[in-house]
Amino acid sequence: MGRWLWIAVVVGLAGCGSTTKASGRGTIKVVAAENFWGNVAAQIGGAHVSVTSIIGDPSTDPHEFESDAHDAAAVADASLVVENGLGYDDFMRQLLGTTRKAGRVVVTAADAAGVHGSGVNPHLWYSTTYTRAVAKAIATALERVDAVHAAEYAQNRETFDNSLARVEAVVDEIATRHANAPVAYTERVPGYVLCDAHVADRTPPGFAQANEEGNEPSASDTQAMETLLTTRAVELLLYNAQATSAASTRARQRANRAGIPVVAVTETMPANVPSYQDWQLTQDQAILTALGG
């Protein structure tokens, strides 16, 4: 579809008030690039928001996602848009650039968290510290869009912050019982939580980076990962269940043969998980269990 025709379709859909993938019956239309930020926004906005999450299918590889006219229509109609940034969801830049809405507020998670630079890990939602910062930015944005319910948004944000304590308790337990335990992963998805848990990341950097970019790791990085696993130099392997590759599959198979525990993590919230907190808590508990409890 040509650029101008695509824009015409977007305008037409927006004019019809399309709200695909929306949840709730709120009055403020919120669009999040990913469903975990959408879930956070829904918890803070409560009954006053209707949230559309563009990437919500757990079988979708976010790195290969391509938006469509329905996504553009949702963005065009939104009063608040939440994106991750750091190159993780560049499709949002196009959607925001080709749609206009007076008074629309955009929250970029990377800006809220103060994380910038090339090559940094974009999976900010695996850090509760960064997630708290994004939640604060979302609450502030909602207060700006809807000042009447500002006190409620502030209260919901406080409730959300407090609820993260149970997630952080498990991470702290990992740090207490398994500090410096050697671990590896196929991609940097869980990188921030492993840092917070003070375990020792032994992953060959090039191996994880190549997988994230959809490339085959170099021979030297592949050999380094195989050596880690075959010699049991790590106590745990984490893999991205949402973006498998030949290299990550081989790593899992070698870990299994070596008797090394393997834990799956996902980039977006699975459909059967009710909240961001439950999602992260389940994965952190799996890491704790795999390391020996």
- Span 226-270, pLDDT tens digits: 999 999 999 999 999 988 889 999 999 999 999 999 999 999 999
pLDDT at 101 over 80: yes
**Domain enclosing residue 185, as ranges:** 166-290
Could you tell me if 216 and 91 lie in one domain?
Answer: no
Q: How confident is the model at residue 26 (pLDDT cuts 50, 70, 90)?
A: low
The CB density around residue 1, as the number of other CB atoms within 10 Å, is 10
Work out the percent of the chain whose per-residue pLDDT is above 90. Answer: 78
| Same-domain pairing of 244 and 116 | no
176, 199 Cβ separation under 8 angstroms = no
Final residue of a domain: which of 163, 193, 226? 163
What gap in Å lies between CA 65 and CA 200, rounded to an integer? 32
Residue 171 backbone zone (phi > 0: left; psi -120 to 50: alpha; other: beta): alpha
Total-model pTM = 0.89
Residue 172 predicted with pLDDT over 90:
yes
Alpha-carbon distance of 265 to 74, in angstroms, equals 29
How many structural domains does the chain have? 2
| pLDDT(8) > 50 | no
Dump pLDDT digits (tens) for 30-85.
Answer: 999 999 999 999 999 999 999 999 998 777 777 778 888 999 999 999 999 999 99
Domain CATH for 216: 3.40.50.1980
